[in-house]
Structures are given as structure tokens and as C-alpha cells.
Amino acid sequence: MIFRVNHISLFHYQSLSSASHNYARLKPKEDEGQQLNSFHLFIDPVFRQTHYQDIWDNSVTEFYVSEPHQSLTVRAESIVTVNKSKFNEGNEIPENSFLPLDESLRLSVSPFLQQSYLTQLRSDQVKTMTNAINVTNDVFTIVNETLAWVYGQIDYNKSSTNVNTSAEQSFDLKSGVCQDKAHMMIGFLRALGIPARYVSGYVYSSDRESVLDTDESHAWVEGYVPGYGWVGFDPTNGERVLNHHIRVACGRDYLDVSPLKGTYKGSGNTITVSVKVEAL
């Protein structure tokens, strides 16, 4: 499927900001499952910008605004072709998808086995999930059942958490948004020795009225399934990632992939974000 994505972020400052320094991760990835047909990033105002790939191979635009400004607009326009994963269409258990992982594999994905503040769960929380999920030595089954548990047990509530909420906190609240559900799923998988990483991007709803986060950036999980590699799972919508998800960046947690972050000189600000995903 081919999609057009328009992502607009508008910052408005209470008083003039004399300078700002920002990082944008808004350019969709190019890999075996996704082709980037075009990408344009518009920043107003902007003084200087540079482009590079970060340690996780995400595309980053670093930009500076050195003149006084009352507002800042960042608009990303992308056209992306997404190729459906044949693996995710089936339900067969992959061969050799078992724990423990081969030591050489563990070393190659070690950053995605280590917990962070945002993904760490308490031992009692891990035990609760372990008792509710069919934890065998089969990675594929564990990841699928974890997906179903987080989707079913954690309510979607935009007012209960913020970008600094940890998996431990959202677990206690039993609510959160896509970021919280992704962190919780990642934290549990890593506790079991399964590599898991955080993915940011967009999801297209089509005629699927129940799909959440279609009007803003979305987040989901990729678990490493031996024999297949990284496979996407969306705990917010309770589904495996097929051809409706557009990948932008991946990392250990949200802090590695936040679409926009930075600092500025001035008083407080408000931000308005809008995302529109269209099928072409």
C-alpha cells in the first residue's frame, strides 16, 4: 500500500523566544518492508540545519533558530510504500523460535535486552503477567500472548499518563496511551530474555473504526523472533503489524525516538500536533 503522511507541529511561545535548538525524527525508514518515495521537511523559522543517522539508524534533522520568534512550525510530508509482511499474516509457530537465545544473537541485540527507567517493571508485576500468560520457551507464543494481555488489561486513556510515565507506573494505573502500552510490553519481554524495541510511526485506519492513534504519532513494539528477525506487534490496537503501519524510528524506548525534542530560551509554550494519513 502507498500512503501520504502530513505531520504538522506548531509551537507557540508566551513571549518571544530568542533561540531554540531542536531535533526532529520525522523521516520514515527505508528497509525491506518499506520504501520512501518522497520526503520534505519544512521548518519556519530556521537558521541552520544538519542531517545525520543516529546510533539506531534513524534519520535525524538537527536545527537551530537564532532569531527572536513567537512561534515555530515543523511540517513533514512523506509518501511511503509499505509491503505486507507474509510472516505476520500467518499463525504458524516459527521453527527454532525458542529460548534461551543463542549467545551470539544475544550479543548482537544486547541493547534491546537491557531495561531503562521507562520500561522497567517490578518483580511482582512481571509475576502477575507471567501467571496470566502462557510462558513457555516459545518466543512467538510468548510475544503474541503478551500482546493480547496488554491490549486487554490496560485501558486506553489519554489523560492518565504523560511522556515521562514509566511502565511500572502505567501498570499500577492499568491505563495509558500507545507509548505506555509499548513500554510495558517491552519491559515484560526483556524480563524474560526476549529482545524488544520501541517503534514510532503512524497507523492508517482505513475503514477500521476501532483503530486508535490515527490522528497523531503512534508507537508499537518489535520483538525479535528467532528465524524471522524483528516482527511488529501493536498492543494499543491488539494486532500484529501488517501493511497499515508506517515506521519512522526505532530505539530502546520513547526517549530514543521522540519525533521532536529540544530546548529554547523564553517563557512557556503550547504545542499543537496534527497527523493525516491517506491511502493513495
pLDDT tens, position by position, 126-137: 999 999 997 888
pTM score, whole prediction: 0.93
Separation CA 200–CA 25 (nearest Å): 9
State which of 17-21, 28-32, 164-168 shows the largest mean pLDDT.
Answer: 164-168
Q: Report residue 96 as a C-alpha cell.
A: 527454532
How, if at all, do strands 155-156 and 175-176 pair?
parallel
Query: What's the CA gap between 219 and 58, in Å, rounded?
Result: 15
Q: pLDDT grade, residue 213 (50/70/90)?
A: low
C-alpha 112/C-alpha 5 separation (Å) is: 28
Where do the H-state alpha helices sit in 90-235?
103-108, 123-132, 139-153, 167-173, 178-191
- Segment 147-156, tens digit of pLDDT: 999 999 999 9
Taken in order 19, 23, 26, 30, the sign of the CA dihedral is: positive
pLDDT at 224 over 90: yes
pLDDT digits (tens, 9 = 90+) for 50-80: 999 999 999 999 999 999 999 999 999 999 9
How far apart, in whole angstroms, are the C-alpha atoms of residue 194 and residue 187? 10
Average of per-residue pLDDT across 144-169: 94
Residue 33 or 167, more confident? 167
Q: Average per-residue pLDDT in the chain?
A: 91
Q: CA dist 206 to 203, 218, 279, Å?
A: 9, 15, 8
**Residue 220: which pLDDT band, with cuts at 50, 70 and 90?**
very high
Please check the confidence at residue 87 and state whether its pLDDT lies above 90.
no
Vertex 36 angle, CA 31 and 39, to 5°: 140
What three-state secondary structure class fits 131? helix
Give the residue, 180 or 47, on which the prediction is more confident: 180
